[in-house]
Amino acid sequence: MPMGPVKPKPKRVRREKRELAYLRDLVGKLENKVTLLRSKRLNRLKTGCHDTGISTASHVSPSNSEFSSAWMGLAALQLRDRSLAVERNQKLRCSIGGYVDLVCKLQQLTKKYTAQEREISECASQAHTMHHKFWDLLANADEEIFADQLAAVARLRLELQQRGYQLPTTALSVNWGLSRGHMMVKQDGNNGVVLEMHCGTTVPFNLDVAARAYWRFFCVEHGEIPADSSATSLSKGTIANSFSLRLEFEGLVSEVSGKYTCQVNVDEDKITITWVEHADVLAFGGVVFNGLQYQKRASMTLCRVLREGPGNQSTSTVVHTYFQTIPVFHDSIADKLQQTQAFVDSAYRSHSKLNKIVCQHMSNLLLEEDWKATFG
C-alpha cells in the first residue's frame, strides 16, 4: 500500500523553530556588524588610513581587539537606538500629516460656518428693516399669513439666541414683583412708530409651575378660555391659530381679531414661548379705529434658578418678557398720522391699568398652578 507523507516529530518541529529564531537573530547581528565595518572603513578613509581590513586585522593586539569588541557593542546599541528613533520619527510624521489635514478641514468648515452665519444675520437684519406689510386677514390665504408669521418667529428666535436670551439693559425693567415692564415709544425710519416693553422678574415658583401659569395667561390673552384649566396644558412645537378678543374696562372697550403663530421650546432648565401676531384693531381704550392693524412680536423666556445646598432643588424662576408692537395701516387710509397718535395716547393711558389687571390675573394663575402641583 502507498504510504502517505511522514509527519515530522513534534520535538523536531520545536527544534527547527528555535533554530530559525536563532538564525534570524544571528543574521541581524551580522548585518549590524557589516554596517558597522562599512562605517568604520569609511571613517578610516576620511582620516587618511588606506590600509585594508585584512592587514589591519593581522596586526591587532589583544588589547586593541578587546577595545574593538567593546566599541562594536556600543555601536550596535547606538545603531539599534537610531533605527528605533527613525521608526518613531516616521510615525510622528504620519500622525502630524493627519493632524495637518484635520486642521485644514476644520478651518474650511469654520470659514463655511462663519459665512453662513453672516448670511443669516444679514438676511435677518434686512428682513427686520423691511416695511411691514398690511395683511387683509379676510382676503389673504391663511397659509400665506401663517408662513410669513412663522418666518418672523424664526427671525425673532435667532435674535434671542444671538444675544443669549438676554434683554437690552437700556430698555430692561427689573422687578421683584409681577409686571409687564415700562412701555417705550420709538421712532423707526422703516417701521414708523414702535412700541416696546421689556421686563425681567423673579417669581418664587419652580419652572414647571411658572411655565404652566404663563402659558395659561397666553391662552387667555388670545381669547382661549376653556371651562377646564387642564385643557390649557403647555403645548410643545408650533401653533397657528385665529383669535378674537373683546375687553371692557371702566367703560372703555377694546376689540381686536387676528391670527398668531407661536413656538414653544422646552429645554432642561429653560422654556421659551415666542410668537408673532397680526390683529385688526376695531377699538382700543375706547377709541374707534379704521384700517388699523397692529403687528406684534413677543417672547417669554423662563429660566430655572438652581438652589445652592443639598439637593439643588429649584424654588424660583427668572422670567424675561419682550413685547414689540408696530401699528400698520391700509393704503387707503388718509389720516394715518392722527390715528397713530391716538393709538399711542390710548396705549399710554391704559398701560398702567392693564398692567394691574395682568399682574393680578398672573398672581391668581401662579397660586392656582402651585396649589395643583402641591395638592393635586
Find out whether 365 and 234 touch, Cβ atoms under 8 Å: no
Separation CA 136–CA 145 (nearest Å): 9
What is the per-residue pLDDT for 88? 85
C-alpha cell recorded at residue 3: 504510504
Separation CA 373–CA 240 (nearest Å): 29
Q: What dotted CATH number matches 129-375? A: 3.30.530
Separation CA 321–CA 178 (nearest Å): 11
What is the per-residue pLDDT for 44? 67
Separation CA 92–CA 86 (nearest Å): 10
pLDDT in tens, 117-142: 676 566 555 544 445 788 888 888 89
What is the per-residue pLDDT for 298? 92
Record the pTM.
0.61
Q: What is the CA radius of gyration of the chain?
A: 42
What is the per-residue pLDDT for 281? 92
Q: Residue 356, Cα to own-chain centre: how many angstroms?
A: 37
Query: With a cut of 50, which residues of the chain have pLDDT below it?
Result: 1, 49-60, 127-130, 167-176, 227
